[in-house]
Structure 1
Amino acid sequence: MTSHINHLITAGRKSYALSIRQLYNSMADFNRHLDIPFADIDVAWLRRYELFLREKRLAENTIGIRFRTLRSIYNLAVEENVASPDSYPFKKFKVSKLHQETAKRALSKEDIERVLSYKSTNRYMRFPIDIFAFTYYCGGINFVDIAHLTRANIVDGRLIYKRQKTKKLIKIPLQPQAVALIDKYREDESPYLFPILSAFHKTEVQQANRIHKVITKVNDRLKQIGESLNLPITLTTYVARHSQATVMKRAGVSTAVIREIMGHSSERVTQIYLDSFDNEQVDNALKSL
Structure 2
Amino acid sequence: MFSIITKCQRNSNDIEFVKLTMVFYKTGHNRVYKVLYITGAYSDWQKDKQCFTPNSADNISKNSLLQKEKLKYLRIAEKWEYAGKNWTPIELAHYFDKKNEVLDKYTSVSEIIKQIEKETAEQTRIRNGREFDNRRNARTFQYLHNCLERFTLSKYRKTFLNYLFRDITEKFIEDFIIYSKREGAKNGNRGGVFYKLHMLYKIVEYAQKKKLYNVNLGAFDKFKIYMKESPVVTKAVSHEIIMKIEQVDRSILKKCEHLYLDLFLFSYYAGGMSGIDICYLERHMINGDSLKYERIKTDKICRVILTEKALALIEKYKPLAYMNYLFPIFKLKNTSQHKMYTRVNYTTRMVAETLRKICAELGINHHIAWSTARSSFICKMLDEGYHVYQVAEMTGNSPMAIYKHYYGITDKEKISLMMNNMF
TM-score, with structure 1 as normaliser: 0.85
Q: Deviations over 1:254-279 (max 9, x none)?
A: 44443443223772465122258576
RMSD of the TM alignment (CA)? 3.0
Letter of the aligned partner of 2:145 in structure 1? Y
Bigger mean CA deviation after superposition, 254-263 or 40-49: 254-263
Alignment of 1:211 with 2:344, yes or no, is yes
Q: How does 1:187-206 map to 2 (within 5 A)?
A: 187=319, 190-206=323-339
Structure with the bigger percentage of strand: 2
> Could you say which residue in structure 1 is the equivalent of 2:147?
26
For the pair shown, the structure with the greater C-alpha radius of gyration is 2
Q: Indicate how the Cα distance of structure 1 residues 235 and 54 shifts in structure 2: closer, same or farther if over 3 A, else same.
A: closer
Give % identity. Answer: 22
Cα distance in 1, alignment partners of residues 322 and 279 from structure 2: 16
Q: How does 1:1-289 map to 2 (within 5 A)?
A: 1-11=113-123, 12-31=133-152, 32-56=159-183, 57=186, 59-82=189-212, 87-96=217-226, 102-121=232-251, 122=253, 123-187=255-319, 190-264=323-397, 267-268=400-401, 270-275=403-408, 284=418, 288=422
Q: Is the 8 A contact 1:145 1:163 kept in 2?
A: yes
Letter of the aligned partner of 2:329 in structure 1? I
Structure 1: segments with no counterpart, 5+ residues = none
Structure with the bigger percentage of helix: 1
Q: Is the 8 A contact 1:142 1:241 kept in 2?
A: yes
Number of aligned residue pairs: give it: 289
Q: Indicate how the Cα distance of structure 1 residues 64 and 87 shifts in structure 2: closer, same or farther if over 3 A, else same.
A: closer
Q: Is the 8 A contact 1:256 1:267 kept in 2?
A: no
Structure 2: segments with no counterpart, 5+ residues = 1-112, 124-132, 153-158
Letter of the aligned partner of 1:8 in structure 2? T
TM-score, with structure 2 as normaliser: 0.60
Q: Is the 8 A contact 1:166 1:265 kept in 2?
A: no
Larger relative contact order (CA 8 Å, sep ≥ 6) = 1
Give the 3-state SS of the residue equivalent to 2:236 in structure 1. coil
Bigger mean CA deviation after superposition, 61-70 or 253-262: 253-262
1:247, CA displacement in angstroms?
0.7
1:136, CA displacement in angstroms?
0.6
Bigger mean CA deviation after superposition, 22-31 or 89-98: 89-98
